[in-house]
Amino acid sequence: MSARFEARRTRSGRVVAVGAPADLEAALHERVELIAPDAAQTATAVLVGIGRTWVDPHTGRPQAYGYIAAETLEQTSLGAA
């Protein structure tokens, strides 16, 4: 089973995975599952890099952006809309 991460869009519109830096590092160069914040959509993509890190103000845990290869992005499901 592939690693699962929350999908977000950066200010520039790029889709990224968000998760703990160690989890992202462990999944580098693998196909991962991306889940929309509302869980209505999922997709898969290959994780190719790790970017900006920060500490989540609500949980106190470190978080990071995981960059994906856009050409590998494949939508896998849609929620009921």
Domain ranges for the chain, please list them: 4-78
- Residue 10 is predicted with a pLDDT of 87
pLDDT of the residue at 78: 58
- What is the pTM assigned to this prediction? 0.86
Q: How far apart are CA 54 and CA 73, in angstroms?
A: 25
The pLDDT score that the predictor gives to residue 6 is 96
| CA torsion through residues 60, 62, 67, 72, sign | negative
Q: What is the pLDDT of residues 7-65, one digit of tens each?
A: 999 889 889 999 999 999 999 999 999 999 888 899 999 999 999 999 999 999 999 99
Contact 63, 55 (CB under 8 A): yes
- Cβ contacts of residue 49 below 8 Å, gap of 6+? 28, 66, 67
